[in-house]
Amino acid sequence: MLRDDDKRWMRRALRLAKKGRGRTSPNPMVGAVLVKDGRVVGEGYHVRAGEVHAEIIAMRKAGDEARGSTLYINLEPCSHYGKTPPCAPALIEAGVKKAVVGMEDPNPLVKGRGLEMLRAAGLDVEVGIFEEACQKLNEAFCKYIQTKEPFVILKIAATLDGKIATQHGESKWITGEDSRRLAHRLRDEADGLLVGIGTILKDDPLLTARIKGGRDPYRIILDSRLRIPEKAKIIDQNLEMTILATTELAPKEKMESLEKRGVRVLILDSVQGRVNLKSLLSRLGEMGMMSLLVEGGSEVNGSFLNEGLIDKIFLFLSPRLLGGQALGIFGGRGTEKLEGALSLNQLKIKKVGEDILLEGYPKKLCSLES
């Protein structure tokens, strides 16, 4: 049974961890609170990859007060050397007497070893406080650290009857301003943003995060034959953040021309003339991308659906109906029987301005099994 104090301080640790959202990749978001005699003596959160970990910041702030304190942290303290020294030995040396931990670290290099180290040193260790909330917070890290592939989020804006554009291709704007602002927040938090070449040819977008203090993600364009115009806005600006995913079908001269300008071109194997998405995810994972936001058209959406590559869905529905031959959310082959339909888990529904947002998961949230 959870004690009220445990709930209070773990909630505080989670709030701190969220301050690092979109900035810690490929590391997890972590918040730490040191409590002694019912008061906070030190706290901190992981700001970005390569910088000091949350528990170290909390201990530095606590100073001598860390001795005899209780640590509240959403993720198991690390026990291995990475870009920074391990945290578990530092906690032991500082004299922390108890650790209340939200979840075990799914990283194979840690995965319980930090907890074992703390227990062996005599600390009282409790694990699993608000575990589900802790797992959801670091859902992208959970997948990435176990598969070395990014967590794939499919973002869709559609009418109530499931249309993403009119039959003539008009889509600006199906959803309202509040939904679009939230969509830009999703871009700010993602490592990569993926679209198909059709979106580039139709809209010539910049694919930036247009919010105050926003951080632009890498822009990945699926373009199996390199049809992208060399004057496309996405090429003219932030070249180092633009990635063209293509195949052996692309003309070599154009490929060389784009690479000379600084565009990164990934040559991947093809499936029926299209970029092999599974191979692409592996390559993006090798580059350290932990999360990928897909803002595709009907065919791109259908490809990710058919190949079972979606980890999470954000579906923004506007209170409009188009009907007729307007473009649907998912293209591709689809499924022939209801038993083969994708079912969303942990479905959440909320109002966003005049729109409705559905959020759900087609897969188990964060498996720690190996």
Catalytic positions are 55
Q: In a 3-state reduction of DSSP, which class is residue 39?
A: strand
Where residue 318 falls (left for φ over 0; alpha for ψ -120 to 50; beta otherwise) is beta
* Calpha distance 56→85 (Å, rounded): 10
Tell me which residue has tokens 């530095």. Answer: 60
8 A C-beta contact, residue 214 and residue 191:
no
Going from the C-alpha of 324 to that of each of 56, 91, 258, 321, 328, the distances in angstroms are: 59, 63, 40, 10, 10
* Calpha distance 200→193 (Å, rounded): 13
- Longest Cα–Cα distance in the chain: 70
Geometric angle at alpha carbon 251, from 250 and 252, rounded to 5°: 110
Name 33's bridge partners.
43, 72
8 A C-beta contact, residue 102 and residue 133:
yes
Strand pairing class (31-36; 39-45): antiparallel
Mark out the alpha helices in the chain (DSSP H runs): 4-18, 54-62, 88-94, 113-120, 131-137, 139-147, 177-189, 197-203, 233-236, 252-260, 277-286, 298-306
8 A C-beta contact, residue 72 and residue 30:
no
Residue 186: CB atoms within 10 Å = 18
8 A C-beta contact, residue 98 and residue 123:
yes
